[in-house]
Amino acid sequence: MSPNCSLAYDRVGMKFSAVIFDMDGLMLDTERVYRDVFNRAAADCEIEFPAALHEQLLGRNSADTWTILGEVWNNPALLEKFRDRTRHHHHICFEEPPPIKKGLLELLDTIEAKKVPKVVATSTRRAYALPRLEKCGLLHRFASVSTGDQVERGKPAPDLFLLAAKTIGAQPNKCVVLEDSEAGVTGAHAAGMTVCMVPDMKQPTDDVRKLAQGVYESLVDVRKFLESTL
């Protein structure tokens, strides 16, 4: 994968003044952990949980996740049992800190050297997001953390990204967002922000790819782009 032409950056016509990070799948290698959680819960419920269904949930907040599953299954009893077993396995599978993605620490160092503020905008609930970042030694490196349960509409709506920018008084068109999911890319673009995508478990569709400034192999490649645009 290589970056697209910098259409979004050309539109902004200025250096970025803030960086907004997604968390799961972008900074932390957690989507595979979630996959394990869902598979374990599904086994307890004696059902299948196809990969395609998990892909529908990537980047979505908790409320949207349960709405989507409720619509797919149309079985309130099954949904409630699955929710209960998910909570159980979530606690077990996330007991240890998840791995940090390749290139993250070096990227954070680069942004800090340029004295550009950075914040987190994650669909994960606050009660989970803050301890997860703390366990990984990352929480202190961000000016703020905005979470999925703080906004009425989750990704792919722009609300979470706009909230994240507001926490540091940044103008949306001066923010660059780093995302791994299609929902995140769509939401960041809708917020009027430039977005760099580093796909994790699912490659973007052509339509989503067009919304991103570039689609990158890893945060190592994103660092090269940001070194000249911050």
Catalytic residue among 22, 180, 200, 221: 22
CB 165 within 8 A of CB 20: yes
The two tokens of residue 114 are: 């340029």
CB 180 within 8 A of CB 197: yes
Amino acid identity, position 125 = R
CB 119 within 8 A of CB 20: yes
84 has catalytic annotation: no
Catalytic residues: 22
